[in-house]
């Protein structure tokens, strides 16, 4: 059976982490505030209220446009997208239609170039809570406008994706870029949502709305490929519709079909001014752009000579991890071991605790302590791994932990043991002196036994050799 030809385009919505909302001065991040406590007449659409544009949101939007290689339009306007829905306080959304903030960009995903049609800014609708939990069986909705009016950037791609996996990769990369730009907080729930349009073999487009989570995006689209292929194989036609992804059962289902075609009747919003994005403004933004993930990864490789692999893991775990790494390097200039232990062991421990570096008790000062101990041979690699776990759990200084648990052998302890072994094994020593390599191994083995395998063989070797000479 032939693989279906898949075409996918997406619209990603990002909640921008400005301090205030898009058109009013309520908090942009209401968190768990009591419902409707983070509101004002403007975001609640009270008669007579008027919006006013948040300058920071414009800046953030422009930065996203620049990071996606787009052209920033010189003049931009806001439009009213009119449709009725209980989550829209004015029954129109203030967005950008004709003339958005940025257009004509792209993101390179390996070999594939994903073209970005436009980037624009708009306001988020309110949150609907269905009184029986599920959208399809509720009697009423409960509406919380705390989120209404939060600034959103919408990133629209051309239908350049050829499979669901690419979409996931795009979203992961996009999320990193947004994080490094400082316009988005990945920890904030629901702050990055995707609407995806998918068609197979040139058939009708199906839209899946409001997917959160990169895994879910891939799953939803994979399900659609299977579903749509199934339909066409039966000889039927795929219908153009809007569907919703159910994360629990991992399927998409059709939202109620509208009997009419929505026509948003766009007009320019006459309460808002034209915004000019001057050359000067754009140039100054460009000059002050934060380092993008690819740029930072390249810099790590170039400046610190670590592998691409390590650099990518550090960068794409998240900006706090990259900051952590470089903070460690300031205290102890050992890029390779720090990277190695970070990637191979620290991350494991954090993941095991489902913890992010910025929320954990791990700090650069104490982490480099551990690295130093390892480098000096004060702990064996095996015990270092144990120590790492405890350190991540407690945040206690590794030195203290080691002393408590007797993980570490001090230099003088080691020397004592080596000298003892040497004095008790004169035959092996003279054999070593006359060139017999196995004798050294024998001595190392004895020291290891004595230290109950706590010491590092390489270190032992070094000390023995020194003592004998």
Residue closer to another protein, measured from CB, 139 or 423: 139
State the nearest-atom distance from the C-beta of 141 to another protein, in Å.
5
State the nearest-atom distance from the C-beta of 148 to another protein, in Å.
11
Instruction: Give the span between the Cα atoms of 394 and 401, in whole angstroms.
Output: 9
Residue closer to another protein, measured from CB, 98 or 420: 98
State the nearest-atom distance from the C-beta of 254 to another protein, in Å.
11
* Full DSSP string of 401-437: HHHHHT----HHHHHHHHHHHHHH-HHHHHHHHTT-H
Vertex 40, ends 39 and 41: CA angle to 5°? 135
Residue closer to another protein, measured from CB, 37 or 333: 37
- The residues, ordered by sequence, that sit 6+ positions from 133 with a Cβ below 8 Å of its Cβ are none
How do 71-72 and 102-109 pair as beta strands? antiparallel
State the nearest-atom distance from the C-beta of 59 to another protein, in Å.
9
By the 8 A CB rule, do 223 and 251 touch? yes
- Write down how long the chain is: 469
Burial annotation 171-202 (CB, 10 A radius, 16+ → b, else e): bebbbbbbbbbebbbeeeeebbbbbbbbbbee
State the nearest-atom distance from the C-beta of 57 to another protein, in Å.
7
State the nearest-atom distance from the C-beta of 264 to another protein, in Å.
8
State the nearest-atom distance from the C-beta of 101 to another protein, in Å.
13
State the nearest-atom distance from the C-beta of 74 to another protein, in Å.
11
Residue closer to another protein, measured from CB, 257 or 452: 257
How do 241-246 and 206-212 pair as beta strands? parallel
Q: Which candidate, 386, 385, 454, places its Cα nearest to that of 417? A: 454
Please list the alpha-helical segments (H only) found in 318-456.
319-331, 335-341, 347-352, 364-376, 381-394, 398-405, 411-424, 426-433, 437-450
Q: How far is CA 209 from CA 150, 168, 198, in A?
A: 19, 15, 11
State the nearest-atom distance from the C-beta of 16 to another protein, in Å.
10
Residue closer to another protein, measured from CB, 27 or 347: 27
Q: To which H or E segment does residue 207 belong?
A: strand 206-212
Residue closer to another protein, measured from CB, 147 or 219: 147
Residue closer to another protein, measured from CB, 50 or 466: 50
Residue closer to another protein, measured from CB, 4 or 45: 45
Residue closer to another protein, measured from CB, 83 or 309: 83
State the nearest-atom distance from the C-beta of 291 to another protein, in Å.
23
Residue closer to another protein, measured from CB, 126 or 167: 126
φ/ψ of 303, rounded to 5, equals -75, -35
φ/ψ of 319, rounded to 5, equals -60, -40
> Whose structure tokens read 């730009």?
181
DSSP 32: T
State the nearest-atom distance from the C-beta of 99 to another protein, in Å.
11
Q: How far is CA 204 from CA 8, 138, 231, in A?
A: 12, 30, 12
State the nearest-atom distance from the C-beta of 20 to another protein, in Å.
5
Residue closer to another protein, measured from CB, 34 or 189: 34
Instruction: Give the span between the Cα atoms of 222 and 111, in whole angstroms.
Output: 21
By the 8 A CB rule, do 126 and 143 touch? yes
Q: How far is CA 392 from CA 323, 357, 403, 404, 451, in A?
A: 18, 10, 17, 16, 26
Binding stretches for another protein (CB under 8 A)? 18-20, 25-27, 34-37, 39-41, 44-58, 77, 80, 82, 84-86, 89-92, 128-131, 135-136, 138-145, 255-256, 259-260, 262-263, 265-268, 270-276
Residue closer to another protein, measured from CB, 39 or 197: 39
């Amino acid at each position: 059976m032939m693989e279906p030809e898949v075409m996918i385009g997406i619209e990603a919505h990002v909640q921008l982490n400005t301090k205030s909302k898009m058109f009013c001065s309520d908090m942009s991040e209401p968190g768990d505030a009591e419902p409707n406590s983070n509101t004002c007449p403007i975001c609640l659409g009270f008669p007579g209220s008027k919006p006013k544009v948040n300058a920071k949101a414009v800046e953030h939007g422009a930065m996203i446009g620049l990071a996606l290689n787009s052209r920033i339009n010189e003049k931009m306007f806001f439009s009213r997208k009119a449709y009725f829905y209980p989550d829209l306080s004015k029954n129109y959304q203030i967005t950008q239609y004709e003339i958005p903030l940025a257009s004509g960009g792209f993101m390179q995903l390996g070999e594939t170039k994903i073209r970005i049609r436009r980037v624009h800014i708009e306001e988020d609708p309110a949150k609907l809570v269905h009184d029986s939990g599920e959208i399809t069986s509720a009697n009423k909705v409960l509406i919380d406008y705390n989120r209404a009016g939060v600034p959103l950037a919408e990133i629209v791609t051309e239908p350049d994706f050829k499979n669901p996996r690419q979409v996931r990769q795009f979203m992961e990369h996009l999320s990193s870029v947004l994080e490094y730009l400082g316009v988005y907080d990945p920890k904030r729930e629901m702050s990055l949502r995707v609407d995806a349009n998918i068609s197979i073999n040139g058939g009708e487009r199906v839209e899946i709305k409001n997917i959160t989570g990169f895994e879910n995006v891939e799953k939803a689209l994979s399900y659609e490929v299977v579903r749509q292929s199934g339909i066409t194989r039966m000889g039927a036609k795929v219908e153009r519709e809007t569907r919703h992804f159910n994360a629990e059962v991992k399927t998409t289902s059709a939202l109620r079909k509208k009997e009419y075609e929505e026509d948003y009747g766009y007009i320019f919003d006459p309460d808002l001014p034209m915004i000019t994005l001057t050359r000067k403004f754009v140039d100054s933004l460009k000059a002050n752009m934060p380092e993008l993930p690819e740029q930072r990864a390249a810099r790590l490789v170039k400046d610190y000579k670590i592998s691409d692999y390590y650099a990518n893991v550090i960068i794409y775990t998240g900006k706090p991890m990259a900051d952590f790494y470089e903070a460690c390097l300031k205290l102890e200039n050992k890029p390779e071991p720090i990277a190695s232990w970070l990637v191979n062991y620290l991350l494991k421990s954090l993941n095991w605790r489902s913890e992010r570096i910025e929320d954990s008790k791990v700090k650069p000062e104490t982490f480099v302590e551990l690295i130093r101990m390892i480098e000096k041979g004060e702990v064996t690699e095996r015990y270092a791994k144990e120590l790492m776990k405890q350190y991540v759990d407690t945040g206690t200084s590794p030195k203290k932990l080691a002393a408590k648990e007797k993980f570490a052998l001090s230099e003088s302890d080691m020397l004592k043991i080596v000298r003892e072994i040497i004095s008790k094994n004169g035959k092996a020593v003279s054999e070593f002196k006359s060139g017999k390599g196995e004798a050294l191994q024998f001595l190392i083995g004895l020291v290891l036994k004595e230290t109950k395998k706590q010491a590092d063989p390489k270190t032992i070797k070094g000390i023995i050799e020194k003592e004998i000479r």
